[in-house]
Amino acid sequence: MGLLAEVTRGQRVESQHFGRAVIVDASGKVVWSCGDYEASIYPRSTVKALLGLELVESGAAARLQLSDAELALTCASHNGEAEHAATAQRLLSRVGLDVGALECGTHWPTYEPAARQLAGAGEQACPLHNNCSGKHAGLICLSCDAGIATQGYIDPQHAIQKRVTQVLAEVTGAEHREDRRGTDGCSMPTYAIPLHSLAHGFARFGSGIGLSADRARAAQTLREAVAKQPFMVAGTGRYDTALMKEIGLGAFIKMGAEGVMVAALPDEGLGIAIKVDDGANRAAEVAMSALISRFGGDILRNKAAQSGILERTMCQSLRNWEGRDVGEIRAALNAGT
Amino acid sequence: MGLLAEVTRGQRVESQHFGRAVIVDASGKVVWSCGDYEASIYPRSTVKALLGLELVESGAAARLQLSDAELALTCASHNGEAEHAATAQRLLSRVGLDVGALECGTHWPTYEPAARQLAGAGEQACPLHNNCSGKHAGLICLSCDAGIATQGYIDPQHAIQKRVTQVLAEVTGAEHREDRRGTDGCSMPTYAIPLHSLAHGFARFGSGIGLSADRARAAQTLREAVAKQPFMVAGTGRYDTALMKEIGLGAFIKMGAEGVMVAALPDEGLGIAIKVDDGANRAAEVAMSALISRFGGDILRNKAAQSGILERTMCQSLRNWEGRDVGEIRAALNAGT
């Protein structure tokens, strides 16, 4: 367990976040680490892009003529803004279905202005606003394309779940065991795997090294779609969207619930995985920016420097309701391997 | 640093929260502890009731004929529900002022259904919805009653701030030093003090022991107001409200930002203070219920047992968007002194 981030107020540290982080190359070699990276963690939403690989690799995405925005949404934990919900609806329309096919459950948009906008218009939230609706719609598309009935697609025993879980296991190199299975917020299974396996999966996802030619191409298609449509992956005011908007194809970044975050640095052939032990995403963000700044190559850093996005996100001002600076949250990484 | 709480998913611990907790009697003796209780922490909103003492002790509350609901709101970090905003408005009306006097800043109600209700009615948030509006309105009342101009009442140098800070120092027995001052979310100062001093302050607040007769009576008045109007202190779905609704005068409980929580157990003469090092309030809640269950006397426990409130809150089910049980958050207190 290492120190990942500190939250200050006035001249004092008010809170601290500990956790683990690891950087792995495409061969699986650990390049840098902090804390126990062999222990298993639930990857939660960080693996959505890996779950999307089969949709592209199988040819389903091309047959269904999915747009970049639609592909990006299959990798998303989105804000539930109007464009996210509309894009999820379009994905379902590709296979002649609608919101009724989604088994993710309903919650109001996590982006509060979007929730208030919806309420202000006298509307109600529906499963399209669930932050996972794109991933679910993607699985439904894959299922329909394969001629498999979609009902119960969230069940670990459903044919489509078995297929994408197999891909997860291959790309991360980690067993996806039943006795390490939990249920995610959106009712899909999440399998605990070692943190370094998660990083390894994203080193492969970014570089294509160690993947079949078809899968490497599928990964590239997804990364390109997300780089073109970073808004779809998260939304207004969100970390992943903000970074990918500036860095483009230089980094693929994805957050997950309970303080998990991954990145792929394609040009460097590296994968990064972070787990904040207390589950706080705010700490994963500042730590990730510090690691990308340190391990990204010249091209990435030059690109990021234009907007100052990495500096701005590795040490973030905390402002109160009157807009006063009251402290900051900053990366505080311990020395690693 | 001790383990305070664990969050599980499936069969595994997904996240952990470490921190410090201490139980002190009215003489200042540490009865139980976990982690470093001498280190200073920002009490944040936990001390609102102590800030309210002067309003009662000075006679201002009686002269202004403040109701129980209004007094309870001066101790609140409320949800911004319609009743909270209306009560804050009534407090200001007592001294002939309105929302324009508040210097706490504006945020939308933290209780999302209330925010959506407001938006649905085509209204906007205002400082009355700020979770601290009751504390601010209370200070404005105190200031007006004393014939002091309210403008700038949030400034550490304002006469009314100096007065309530002096009370804080006396009740907690801790120096309130300028070099340990931070600014809170609502722009008021917050002074870092040792965790055991915070607990000591609430042992006195609950029992009256060690306070002047007038101050002890003021503390009792505030505790009674809160016990009668627990909704005003927080609101729908909130921990402090839920517990005090069941336990009544048996415990005074108050959360603060960044994982700080306090309780007074009047019948036992004990004060409890918790600081979760990573700032997560969810951990403070389960830990507090476990401590109240362990250190509360028979009367308190019998009262709590009727509704099962302590058991239900020290180990809380985590349900996903479809209402499935996916894990739990539970107290996991290390052995103490």
**What is the rounded CA–CA span in Å between residue B191 and residue B75?**
17
User: Where does residue A172 rank: exposed (0-12), middle (13-18), buried (19+ CB within 10 A)?
Assistant: buried
First to last CA, chain B: 13
Put simply, the answer to whether A120 touches B119 (Cβ < 8 Å) is yes
Averaged pLDDT of chain B:
96
Average pLDDT over residues A195-217: 98
A192 touches chain B (CB under 8 A): yes
- Tell me the residues of chain A between 164 and 183 that have a Cβ less than 8 Å away from chain B: 179-183
Compare all CA atoms of chain A with the CA of B119 and give the residue at the minimum distance: A120
Residues of chain B with C-beta less than 8 angstroms from the C-beta of A181: 10
Tokens 């329309």, located at residue: A93
Within 10 A of A272 (CB to CB), how many other CB atoms are there?
28
Q: What is the pLDDT of residues A157-168, one digit of tens each?
A: 999 999 999 999
Share of chain A above pLDDT 90, in %: 97
The three-class DSSP label of residue B31 is strand
**What is the rounded CA–CA span in Å between residue A200 and residue A203?**
5
- Tell me the residues of chain B between 18 and 77 that have a Cβ less than 8 Å away from chain A: 18, 40-42
Q: For residue B172, which amino acid is it?
A: T
From the list A255, A64, A46, A289, the residue with the least C-alpha distance to A171 is A46
Rounded to 5, what percent of chain B is helix, strand, coil? 45, 20, 35
CB of B181 within 8 A of CB of B189?
A: yes
CB of B161 within 8 A of CB of B153?
A: yes
pLDDT recorded at residue A334 = 66
Closest-CA distance of chain A to residue B323, Å: 8
Average pLDDT over residues B163-182: 97
Within 10 A of A302 (CB to CB), how many other CB atoms are there?
11
Q: For residue B234, which amino acid is it?
A: A
Tell me the torsion sign for CA atoms B25, B27, B32, B36: positive
Put simply, the answer to whether B326 touches A15 (Cβ < 8 Å) is no
Q: What is the pLDDT of residues B37-60, one digit of tens each?
A: 999 999 999 999 999 999 999 999
Tokens 């009792």, located at residue: B220
Put simply, the answer to whether B115 touches A112 (Cβ < 8 Å) is yes
CB of B56 within 8 A of CB of B68?
A: no
Angle between helix axes A133-145 and A159-172 (nearest 10 degrees) is 110
A14: enclosing H helix or E strand: strand A12-25
Closest-CA distance of chain B to residue A114, Å: 10
CA B123 to chain centre: 29
B141: enclosing H helix or E strand: helix B133-145
Residue B68: both structure tokens together? 């129980």
Residues of chain B with C-beta less than 8 angstroms from the C-beta of A322: 103-105, 187
Between A and B, how many residue pairs show a Cβ–Cβ distance under 8 A?
Answer: 152
Share of chain A above pLDDT 70, in %: 99
Residue B136: both structure tokens together? 């601010």
**What is the rounded CA–CA span in Å between residue A4 and residue A8?**
14
A289: enclosing H helix or E strand: helix A281-295
Average pLDDT over residues B68-78: 98
Rounded to 5, what percent of chain A is helix, strand, coil? 50, 20, 30
Tokens 């304002």, located at residue: B158
**Domains of chain A by range and CATH?**
2-331 (3.40.710)
DSSP for A73-92?
Answer: HHT------HHHHHHHHHHH
Tokens 């009490």, located at residue: B43
Residue A291: both structure tokens together? 């690691």
Q: Distances in Å between the alpha carbon of A142 and those of A53, A164, B10, B261, B272? A: 10, 10, 27, 48, 54
Put simply, the answer to whether A9 touches B117 (Cβ < 8 Å) is no
Residue B335, pLDDT > 70, answer no
A118: enclosing H helix or E strand: helix A112-120
Put simply, the answer to whether A185 touches B323 (Cβ < 8 Å) is no
A161: enclosing H helix or E strand: helix A159-172
Q: Is B192 left (phi over 0), alpha (psi -120 to 50) or beta?
A: beta
Residue B85, pLDDT > 50, answer yes
pLDDT tier at A191, thresholds 50, 70, 90: very high
Q: What is the pLDDT of residues B222-250, one digit of tens each?
A: 999 999 999 999 999 999 999 999 999 99
Q: For residue B84, which amino acid is it?
A: H
B104 touches chain A (CB under 8 A): yes
Residues of chain B with C-beta less than 8 angstroms from the C-beta of A16: 277-278
Compare all CA atoms of chain A with the CA of B115 and give the residue at the minimum distance: A116
A6 touches chain B (CB under 8 A): no
Q: What is the DSSP letter of A127?
A: G
Q: What is the pLDDT of residues B105-131, one digit of tens each?
A: 999 999 999 999 999 999 999 999 999
CA A26 to chain centre: 19
Write the residue in B40, B183, B322 that is nearest to A320 by C-beta.
Answer: B183
Rg (CA), chain A: 19
Put simply, the answer to whether B278 touches A326 (Cβ < 8 Å) is no
Write the residue in A41, A119, A283 that is nearest to B120 by C-beta.
Answer: A119
Residues of chain A with C-beta less than 8 angstroms from the C-beta of B322: 103-105, 187
Q: What is the pLDDT of residues B269-305, one digit of tens each?
A: 999 999 999 999 999 999 999 999 999 999 999 999 9
- Tell me the residues of chain B between 297 and 326 that have a Cβ less than 8 Å away from chain A: 320-324, 326
Compare all CA atoms of chain B with the CA of A125 and give the residue at the minimum distance: B116
pTM: 0.96
Write the residue in B112, B179, B182 that is nearest to A9 by C-beta.
Answer: B182
Residue A327: both structure tokens together? 């402290």
CB of B35 within 8 A of CB of B2?
A: yes
Q: How many helices (H) and strands (E) does chain B have?
A: 14, 12
Strand partners, A265: A270
Q: What is the pLDDT of residues A131-146, one digit of tens each?
A: 999 999 999 999 999 9
A112 touches chain B (CB under 8 A): yes
Residue A291, CA atoms < 13 Å, CB-side half-sphere: 35
From the list A125, A130, A74, the residue with the least C-alpha distance to A102 is A130
Residue B70: both structure tokens together? 């209004």
Residue B204: both structure tokens together? 């006195």
Averaged pLDDT of chain A:
96
Q: What is the DSSP letter of B127?
A: G
Residue B315's φ and ψ, nearest 5 degrees, are -145, 100
Put simply, the answer to whether B320 touches A16 (Cβ < 8 Å) is no
Write the residue in A258, A279, A321 that is nearest to B105 by C-beta.
Answer: A321
Strand partners, B12: B9
Residue B334, pLDDT > 70, answer no
Residue B90's φ and ψ, nearest 5 degrees, are -65, -40
User: Where does residue B75 rank: exposed (0-12), middle (13-18), buried (19+ CB within 10 A)?
Assistant: buried
Residue A270, pLDDT > 90, answer yes
CB of B191 within 8 A of CB of B180?
A: yes
Closest-CA distance of chain A to residue B112, Å: 8
Put simply, the answer to whether B120 touches A115 (Cβ < 8 Å) is no
CB of B24 within 8 A of CB of B38?
A: no
Put simply, the answer to whether B115 touches A117 (Cβ < 8 Å) is no
Q: What is the pLDDT of residues A73-115, one digit of tens each?
A: 999 999 999 999 999 999 999 999 999 999 999 999 999 999 9
Q: Which residues contact B20 (CB under 8 A, 6 or more apart)?
A: B1, B2, B33, B34, B35, B36, B37, B39, B41, B195, B274, B275, B277
